[in-house]
Structure 1
């Protein structure tokens, strides 16, 4: 395959400080730097076509699925080059989600919940509605460890499952059409949803199931929304689709309350009052009029040079800078946009990076994690004992930030730092 035409699996980590890219030659880890740059911190060079890969925050724990073994999940310590464990499932693995408490494996009609500390299976949700695209979302917050997945294949229902107490929490009737995308806020209290129509995005509070925001992406055409992403502060929500435009919404109620007229009649003297009266008068005949007027529009938008089959986005922030909208595509490109928090409008493209493989003789000369990973796929002499596996998991988790809030403004956390002795952290 021509490397310039290769498609990548791209995924940001849970706090959007780094991203992974799976390719036909293994997988790559990249760190986002304060100067709007991207630094490759690791390349596996395993020669295996990696179709799914996810990194746990800034730790050394990586979960991998390959095309040659699509039913097997491999958990590795990438810095040490060791395979911690692997699990085989009854069907193709469609998605893998991690936080500091749980690891979730999504199959088409089941979900498997593991304890992140020893990788043992705690619970299996069986006979879920058909979910061929592996749509699910695990809250990044371990204290509110909630799992969301489609509750119906015909309607836009979302099932919320408590992954700590291992019981169903609630069901949200989010849309009329089937669910296409889900995303949790960093605090795990808000859930964003989109349907297959791709015109309206809704944000709910959980477990109250209260609809907080209704956001309209567009009215002219239906699109396939592939990614929803909250900012760490929860003020912004980005939506990426199969088009060339990424929309950004501001999640904040109006600071100035609308002043009501002194009497019961609507104030039709003003333009807004006239619109309100029209909406009220037509509510019985056209129920959608009031809803359309109440829907929020995108505060900002970023336009890519061309649409891509798969797009992932994230909103980051650094001290003294405006928020950044970061967009990664399956074509292997990464775009850095500046988001104006006051004016909004079109986001300014700051830098473009290529995630295509780069030669690195130092990494290729030593066996490193890539060789160990390739050996793991061909079979190991013996499995790790439970105690050794637990120690390996503990060592892999050492690089993860402590439980609690993750401050992107802290230079010790954003981005991962590099030292001469250990390579990267």
Structure 2
């Protein structure tokens, strides 16, 4: 690591930077709190909020709305729901152990602990279900699609994961994606595909969500012990961007015709409708790769030829190579990478833990090497004052999974108040449930139209009473 990079990380103790669901915004998290930026163009990345608060571990924004889910380092078991435009905390929930990750979409909020997962209705934060006694998940690995498909690992010894319908609370299929334990996985924006990587990091696999069949197998490289940092599809689901602890970011191209063929076969077999949730799909063998990648005469010929070769050799020959790549200036740092539309042109974004956002040119037709065209410094937080309020808490009881009354508080629901009402001297402990829901709905309702969705977020006409 170069001297300047070491000095930067020493001063800031590193940053955690993550994109929102459509890559139009990013959150910078660190000891200073968290800050939110909007990415409007290649030349413009604008800071829109700075908490100037305590050491923060997690900050997840819901698209371009005002809702942010926050977890601090001093209270890792507490989830805070923020309305950042008002600078107020809407509510908070306490869980049995430290929160390792949080995932959001329009309908669900998922909280992942080491050995359990909690699913909330994001409209009113009502607990919908909890998934208990999962395999120890120290990294908090889980992924939530925009269609509320949920994926999480079920083993520490192999790369097997469980698909779960978080919309209807139903267990779906299991997929044995790799022989080694999983290190990363993510859904495509259209919800059709799931990309996975193991701890080895050399092979990236893409599966059909409906039936668990392998659609693609990509060779990232031959180097062993590579740590995958991010695995993100583009907004159109045509490309998969993969970053690791090496100096190269790989972009793989998805064959959508092949995806359609797999789904067509799935409709004919109708296996997903008759699945009882106990089925498991093993897709680690080389035979699956030969069969599903034979969508052209050339690939069919290669598949026929590799049938007679030793398995390690045939695996390498049938794996697709990168469509495009980026050569980073510094290896060993963690990058979150994605392909986004900026001013109607595709660009590759690389958010680095050194506190910079790098923008690269990306040719969606020809691929090839991507050139750096802009770098944005995200390290200097704005000076300001953030009001901190002592809100009552809601405990998530591990025994019955219901919200229970905190012994020091009188209310069983998290109190919510607007910033204006606090300034007027309104007593926060007298805030009604309707006030809480109003601020929650205001934070998530009517966000701008995103490139991932055809329609805007629908309004809420009724609310279930507690």
TM-score in same-fold range (> 0.5):
yes
Give the RMSD, CA atoms, in angstroms: 2.9
Q: 8 Å contact 2:200–2:227 — kept in the other structure? A: yes
Inter-CA distance 71–303: structure 2 relative to 1 (3 Å threshold): same
What is the distance in 2 between the residues matched to 1:106 and 1:387? Answer: 28
> Which residue of 168, 172, 177 maps to 2:175?
172
> Which residue of 77, 83, 94 maps to 2:83?
77
> Which residue of 38, 44, 51 maps to 2:45?
38
What is the distance in 1 between the residues matched to 2:443 and 2:303? Answer: 57
Instruction: Report the more deviating stretch, 398-407 or 344-353.
Output: 398-407
> Which residue of 47, 59, 62 maps to 2:65?
59
Shift of 1:121: 1.1
Shift of 1:383: 7.2
CA offsets 1:206-249 (integer angstroms, 9 cap, x no match)? 12111111011001333011210000101110011112211111
| 1:90 match: secondary structure | coil
Instruction: Report the more deviating stretch, 34-43 or 101-110.
Output: 34-43
Answer yes or no: is 1:195 the counterpart of 2:198.
Answer: yes
Q: 8 Å contact 1:76–1:83 — kept in the other structure? A: yes
Q: Which runs of 5+ in 1 are unaligned?
A: 261-265, 267-271, 414-425
- Which residue number in structure 2 is paired with residue 393 of structure 1? 440
CA offsets 1:135-162 (integer angstroms, 9 cap, x no match)? 00000x2xx2111000111111110111
CA offsets 1:176-222 (integer angstroms, 9 cap, x no match)? 01111011111111111111110111111112111111011001333
| 1:372 match: secondary structure | coil
- Which residue number in structure 2 is paired with residue 423 of structure 1? none
Inter-CA distance 404–166: structure 2 relative to 1 (3 Å threshold): farther
> Which residue of 340, 343, 350 maps to 1:327?
350
Shift of 1:377: 10
Answer yes or no: is 1:149 the counterpart of 2:141.
Answer: no
Inter-CA distance 253–167: structure 2 relative to 1 (3 Å threshold): closer
Shift of 1:399: 4.7
Q: TM-score by structure 1 length?
A: 0.83
- After the TM superposition, which segments of 4 or more aligned residues of structure 1 sit over 4 Å from their partners? 253-260, 275-278, 375-381, 402-405
- Which residue number in structure 2 is paired with residue 296 of structure 1? 320
- Which residue number in structure 2 is paired with residue 281 of structure 1? 308
Q: Within 5 Å, which residues of 2 pair with 1:403-422?
A: 405-406=452-453
Q: Which runs of 5+ in 2 are unaligned?
A: 1-6, 259-293, 394-408, 410-414, 416-427, 458-466
Shift of 1:280: 3.6
CA offsets 1:58-94 (integer angstroms, 9 cap, x no match)? 0000000000111100001001111111011111110
| 1:118 match: secondary structure | coil
| 2:314 match: secondary structure | helix
| 1:232 match: secondary structure | coil
- Which residue number in structure 2 is paired with residue 209 of structure 1? 212
